[in-house]
Amino acid sequence: MTKMTYREAVRSGLREALRRDPRVFLMGEDVGRYGGTYACSKGFLDEFGPERIRDTPLSESTFVGAGIGAALGGMRPIVEVMTVNFSLLALDQILNNAATLRHMSGGQFNVPLVVRMATGAGRQVAAQHSHSLEGWYAHIPGITVLTPATVTDARGMLLTAVQEPDPVFIFEHAYLYSMEGEWEDNQPAVDISRAAVRRPGKDVSLITFGGSLWKALAAATDLAQAGIDAEVLDLRVLRPLDIGTILTSVRKTHRAVVIDEAWRTGSFAAEISAQIMEGAFFDLDAPVARVCSEEVPIPYPKHLEDAALPQPDKIVKAVHRLLK
């Protein structure tokens, strides 16, 4: 076992991808000389050179578009977008090009592109740097959407994604970069199509992804002290959604709470809730509950930011309401 932080796991995955395949290169704002906004590419410019570690202008539409063009030309670009909020500037390229070209060309063209971006709140960087918009991207056919929450997934999902023939978007919760975990040496390839049960249980399913996984696990520990056995399901992949694993869990526990750091209205949690109602309605002993962020731009002050986000105590309260 190798102990490393989430940040080090991402860096390790990037380095291995670059070493494995000369077609792989990294591009984005501050990825080279600065070493990455989150230090995930520190030292790479010296190690791999400016042809493969490319600093870009502050223009997401330009460099995401360039990544799509490079992928069409036979390269394997990894594009880093500093934060999910800024990725909205590249939505035209993502929706109208990366996600559609294989379909529109009748399968003649693939876009083997990986786009990484930081998502999520909890770091006091205010509303323009703190939102969780991965559910918006999960709405788009033609791309894969990953939300690694563990050290193993942070490294392994990237290595699998860079070998995919079609676009893969990886949302790394920025609050996790300093989290420590263990990576098993000689780890087999990480699957990017299945959810994972992180804690088995029988009384309620806590369904979540990304940074909220650790809040759900903390809530499950608190619930256990009250005699409530919560199962924690890490979705890991938002598109294609592994609905089979979700329904298996709900049919066992008969109750579900979905935790999503996005806003409640139009959230990915709403999609999960709808699919549970369609696929396991008669297995439910209570309506599906959701714990989401408050319907406000994420505040800057720490106490207000904490109050706006899903927290373990909010999850515990939601479970107690279901059990009543």
Q: How far is CA 256 from the centre of its chain?
A: 21
Which residue in 118, 159, 150 sits closest to 36, CA to CA?
118
Say what angle helices 151-161 and 6-20 make with each other, to 10 degrees: 20
Is 129 catalytic? The answer is: yes
pLDDT at 176: 97
Which residue in 162, 235, 222 sits closest to 194, CA to CA?
235
Task: Please check whether residue 121 is in contact with residue 132, taking contact to mean a CB–CB distance below 8 angstroms.
Answer: yes
DSSP 138: T
Residue 166 CB neighbour total at 10 angstroms: 16
pLDDT at 9: 96
Per-residue b or e along 59-93, where b marks 16 or more CB atoms closer than 10 Å to that residue's CB: ebeebbbbbbebbbeebbbbbbbbbbbbbeebeeb
Say what angle helices 212-225 and 312-323 make with each other, to 10 degrees: 50
Which residue in 70, 312, 101 sits closest to 54, CA to CA?
70
CATH topology of domain 2-183: Rossmann fold (3.40.50)
For residue 170, what are the contacts with CB-CB under 8 A and spacing of at least 6? 114, 115, 116, 117, 146, 147, 148, 157, 158, 161
Tell whether domain 196-323 is in CATH 3.90.79.10.
no
Phi/psi at 199 (nearest 5 deg)? -150, 120
Q: What is the pLDDT of residues 12-45, one digit of tens each?
A: 999 999 999 999 999 999 999 999 999 999 999 9
Mean pLDDT across 39-61: 97
pLDDT at 243: 98
Domains 2-183 and 196-323 share a fold: yes
Q: List the chain domain ranges.
A: 2-183, 196-323
Q: Which of 8, 29, 60, 271 is catalytic?
A: 60
Phi/psi at 170 (nearest 5 deg)? -115, 120
| Cis-peptide, bond into residue 240, ω within 30° of zero | yes
Q: Greatest CA span in the chain, whole angstroms?
A: 61
Q: Which of 8, 80, 129, 173 is catalytic?
A: 129
Residue 185 predicted with pLDDT over 80: no
Is 173 catalytic? The answer is: no
Angstrom distances, CA of residue 139 to CA of 60, 95, 134, 144: 20, 10, 9, 10
pLDDT at 2: 83
Residue 239 predicted with pLDDT over 90: yes
pLDDT at 188: 80
> Coil, helix or strand for 161?
helix
